[in-house]
Amino acid sequence: MRPRNIFTYGSLMFAEVWQDIVKLPYENQTAWLDGFRRTYILGDQYPVVLPRAGQKNLQGVVYFSVKEQDIARLDRFEGEHYYRRRVRPTIKVDGEPKIIEADVYVLKPKFADLATLRSWDPELFERRDLHFFRKMHSSN
């Protein structure tokens, strides 16, 4: 498997969490993805995404050319509830939008009942939950 771009929309958007899991820094950039809705997962502080036609501009971070062994680490971190799906997020290059290919971790349909209706707030997560989240997942 050759390196892949990975679009992140939740805890992995934060460089500290990314490096806790992957260990290596990767070039990254803010990106936007259409066709998905980000919500809290039931009973926790992190989000999931589900396909939703008509949803626009889900902001996240794309990490470029992630190596196979690091994708395996991400797969383990995301666990059985998610699958990787190829998507086409938009980044800005010299101020102009550019569509790229990336993978995103999506909640499997059989676990859809774990998604709440409440939109996830990245700023609130960073302020209130990031430190605790990192402590909980530091053994990965």
Q: How does pLDDT run across 16-67, given as a tens digit for each residue?
A: 989 888 988 899 999 999 999 999 988 888 899 999 988 899 999 999 999 9
Distance CA 6, CA 3 (A): 10
pLDDT tens string 75-124: 999 999 999 999 999 999 999 999 999 999 999 999 999 999 999 988 88
Q: Measure CA of the first residue to CA of the last residue in the chain; give whole Å.
A: 23
Cα–chain center distance at 96: 23
Residues in the chain: 140
- Token pair for 63: 């990490």
Residues of the domain holding 66: 4-137
Tell me the chain's radius of gyration from C-alpha atoms.
Answer: 14
- What CATH number is given to the structural domain containing 66? 3.10.490.10
- Count of the separate structural domains present in the chain: 1
